[in-house]
Amino acid sequence: MPDISLTTLALLCLAALLAGWIDAVVGGGGLLLLPAALLGMPHVPVAQILGTNKAVAIVGTTGAAVTYVRKTPVPVWTAVRIGLAALAGSMGGAFFAAGISSEVLRPVIMVVLLGVAAFVMFRPSFGTRTDEAGRAALSRARIVTAIVLVGGGIGFYDGLIGPGTGTFLVLALTAVLHLDLVTASATAKIVNVCTNAGALAMFAYQGHVLWLLAAIMAVFNLTGGMVGARMALSKGAEFVRGVLLVVVFSLVAKLAFDQWA
């Protein structure tokens, strides 16, 4: 474990707790956890911070996914297939990342996110009720669309740039599969487990994981993830919708800061 103070460790654990909660409710916990780790450990190589972040995140994501699956109906097999497509897509995105300027892509993503926020704000019914008949018998066309566009497309974005992947997953799953926001969040967690597992395996193989620090932070991330999942289940889609808007605007602010600050 790197030489960090107890105060820094406590703040990193707090960030892991809050990130686990955010990620379980609507995705985007990495927007908090990764910057906190970069600020708290400025002398640690970025690759080790990224690897440690994945080791922490997969624990909280798995805990949230298990909580959702135990408490509400989730299309697990569909989520796994989307997750495998996202894993392949992220590898493709990582392959092309070196040749594409993120400065060019960030403004486009910000415009898309603002459009999404406007859509959610002016369509209060979006994701607040489930198309029960559609969910009971998801058509092959919708499943294939979800695998290709949601899995492959968002997975590619995850490998290329990354921030907000969980939030994009929730929005896309709600739109494509006609799920309510709670079920979409649950499904997104299973997809996230698949993508995090692939990334963690690569980081671990390269020796870029600080396992002791990750184990300590993972306890807090797991707690936050399980609490967040239970709150989302108990408070319903309207609660998730509110958190979603906060996370979307936070993501826009972060991308703007990265672009122009």
**Comparison of pLDDT for 245 and 163, the residue scoring more:** 245
Q: For residue range 150-200, list pLDDT tens digits in order.
A: 899 988 887 776 667 888 898 889 888 888 888 888 999 999 888 888 888
Question: Is the model's pLDDT at 133 over the cut of 50?
Answer: no
Amino acid in position 37: A
Q: Helices 46-71 and 30-40 meet at what angle, rounded to 10?
A: 150
Lookup: tokens for 73: 């109906």
Residue 126 is predicted with a pLDDT of 64
Higher pLDDT, 252 or 13: 13
In the chain, the percentage of residues whose pLDDT exceeds 90 is 27
Beta-sheet strands, E only, within 50-206: none
Q: How many angstroms separate the CA atoms of 238 and 250, rounded? A: 19
**What does the domain layout of the chain look like in residue ranges?**
6-260
Question: Can you tell me the distance from the alpha carbon of 56 to that of 49, in angstroms, rounded to the nearest whole number?
Answer: 10
pTM of the model: 0.80
Q: What is the dihedral of CA 229, 234, 239, 241, to 10 degrees?
A: 60
| Sequence-distant contacts of 101-104: CB under 8 A, at least 24 apart | 102/160, 102/161, 102/258, 103/259
Q: Which amino acid is at 187?
A: T
Whether the Cβ atoms of residue 116 and residue 164 lie closer than 8 Å to each other? no
The average pLDDT across 11-37 equals: 88
> Residue 16: pLDDT band by 50, 70, 90 thresholds?
very high
Please check the confidence at residue 112 and state whether its pLDDT lies above 80: no
